[in-house]
């Protein structure tokens, strides 16, 4: 079955041209895609007494779009009502005790990945143990280390999964939000009919370091801390991390240096809040290649400005996150989103985006 308009939106979607998805027909295409799998498609058809001739899911999607586009406004109302019902049903089926989950998340007291710097446990285990140890007895002696790596990976992944679940729930229960119920790549929900990909993240260290150099006289944090230590006749020989340098300065009673650094970090964060477009462009342009996307994005940035290494705990600070998100959504209009033009791998893109900061 063919439909030129269906193919047009499919091509734009595949090329991540989400700025073009601002008409009823475009939204209709996306929301049909949200129910494109067999089970949700069947339920939608039954609920709305729609009969299709096609038998394959692919052709059913095209046929349903062709039927619904005859009256897009009414069709969007039907799809929105169904997506809300499906989303609520999904939460009921999950059977998550949210209050208990929030308590359990506070049982996590460390944030360690078992794996390499890319959080890839399998590659880490293969490169560290499988391919370099030829004696079985030696490998067997590494069991505790291997178990610790696996447990760290599972525990931290569990923490990230369920904090993300709870944060997404805050968004998806708001009346301005229609969930895409996990069926559309690059779209988590529709916010006032704008397709949005939610990104929950921490204030990026690389961005902080780049901006801090201006505050620290073109020096890195570590170089600046070592200079301050030298001025106070402290030996920092062999110190190769900011955390250790700060710990040594603190132990020696030089809290003034630590306060100055925290103040400079906070100045960078404050500037990012005032100039969100610069940060958003940086976030788009500094994505990992494997996870690249040019979708419209809402960034929820969590930051502990007093100790950036502890920002991971902010992901469970729902007493701060929920009011910040609710206030943002209550006041949201389409004008809240900024058009971000950026370049990735020598290709130009444009997206709509905004940032919600939750700062301790």
Per-residue pLDDT of 290-320, as tens digits, reads 889 999 999 999 999 878 888 999 999 999 9
What pLDDT sits at residue 181?
A: 83
d(CA 31, CA 352): 19
Q: What is the 8-class DSSP label of residue 203?
A: P
- Kind of pairing between the strands at 187-191 and 297-303: unpaired
30 CB burial (10 A radius; 0-12, 13-18, 19+): buried
Q: What is the 8-class DSSP label of residue 141?
A: T
d(CA 3, CA 10): 11
- Return the higher-pLDDT residue of 115 and 11: 11
What pLDDT sits at residue 116?
A: 60
d(CA 145, CA 121): 13
Phi first, then psi: what are they for 190, rounded to 5°? Answer: -105, 120
Per-residue pLDDT of 24-81, as tens digits, reads 999 999 999 999 988 899 999 999 999 999 999 999 999 999 999 999 999 999 999 9
pLDDT reading at 169 higher than 60: yes
d(CA 164, CA 239): 35
Beta-carbon contacts of residue 267 (< 8 Å; ≥ 6 apart): 215
What pLDDT sits at residue 89?
A: 83
Q: What separation in angstroms does the CA of 241 have from each of 34, 115, 148, 204, 311?
A: 46, 20, 24, 17, 18
Beta-carbon contacts of residue 290 (< 8 Å; ≥ 6 apart): none
Under a CB-based contact definition with an 8 Å cutoff, are residues 264 and 245 in contact? no
d(CA 326, CA 84): 18
- Return the higher-pLDDT residue of 11 and 91: 11
Helices (H), the chain: 4-14, 24-34, 38-47, 57-68, 72-94, 98-105, 121-125, 136-140, 143-172, 205-215, 221-231, 242-251, 255-274, 276-285, 318-330
d(CA 147, CA 143): 6
Under a CB-based contact definition with an 8 Å cutoff, are residues 87 and 172 in contact? yes
Q: What separation in angstroms does the CA of 323 have from each of 15, 101, 204, 272, 356?
A: 35, 19, 23, 21, 11
d(CA 302, CA 167): 12
pLDDT reading at 325 higher than 60: yes
Per-residue pLDDT of 218-248, as tens digits, reads 788 889 999 999 999 998 888 988 889 999 9
Q: Which of 107, 124, 117 is nearest to 159 (CA)?
A: 107
Q: Is 226 left (phi over 0), alpha (psi -120 to 50) or beta?
A: alpha
Beta-carbon contacts of residue 224 (< 8 Å; ≥ 6 apart): 216, 217, 261
């Amino acid at each position: 079955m063919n439909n030129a308009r269906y193919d047009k939106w499919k091509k734009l979607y595949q090329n991540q041209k989400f700025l073009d998805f601002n008409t009823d027909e475009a939204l209709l295409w996306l929301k049909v895609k949200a129910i494109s799998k067999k089970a949700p498609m069947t339920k939608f058809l039954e609920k709305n007494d729609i009969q299709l001739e096609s038998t394959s899911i692919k052709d059913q999607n095209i046929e349903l779009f062709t039927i619904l586009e005859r009256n897009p406004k009414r069709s969007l109302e039907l799809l929105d009502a169904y997506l809300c019902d499906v989303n609520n049903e999904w939460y009921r089926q999950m059977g998550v005790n949210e209050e208990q989950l929030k308590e359990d998340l506070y049982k996590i007291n460390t944030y360690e990945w078992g794996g390499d710097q890319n959080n890839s446990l399998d590659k880490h285990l293969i490169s560290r143990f499988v391919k370099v140890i030829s004696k079985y007895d030696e490998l067997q002696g590494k069991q505790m280390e291997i178990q610790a790596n696996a447990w760290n990976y599972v525990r931290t992944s569990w923490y990230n999964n369920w904090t993300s679940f709870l944060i997404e729930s805050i968004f998806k229960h708001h009346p301005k939000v229609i969930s895409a119920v996990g069926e559309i790549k690059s779209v988590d929900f529709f916010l006032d009919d704008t397709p949005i990909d939610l990104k929950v993240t921490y204030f990026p260290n690389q961005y902080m370091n780049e901006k801090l150099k201006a505050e620290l006289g073109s020096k890195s944090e570590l170089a600046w801390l070592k200079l301050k230590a030298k001025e106070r006749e402290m030996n920092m020989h062999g110190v190769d991390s900011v955390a250790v340098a700060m710990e040594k300065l603190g132990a020696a009673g030089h809290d003034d240096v630590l306060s100055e650094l925290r103040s400079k970090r906070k100045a960078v964060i404050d500037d990012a809040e005032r100039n969100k477009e610069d940060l958003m462009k940086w976030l788009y342009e500094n994505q990992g290649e494997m996870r690249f996307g040019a979708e419209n994005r809402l960034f929820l940035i969590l930051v502990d400005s007093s100790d950036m290494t502890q920002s991971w705990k902010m992901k469970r600070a729902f007493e701060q996150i929920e009011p910040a998100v609710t206030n943002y959504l209550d006041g949201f209009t389409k004008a809240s989103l900024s058009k971000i033009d950026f370049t990735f791998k020598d290709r130009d893109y444009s997206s709509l985006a905004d940032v919600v900061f939750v700062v301790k």
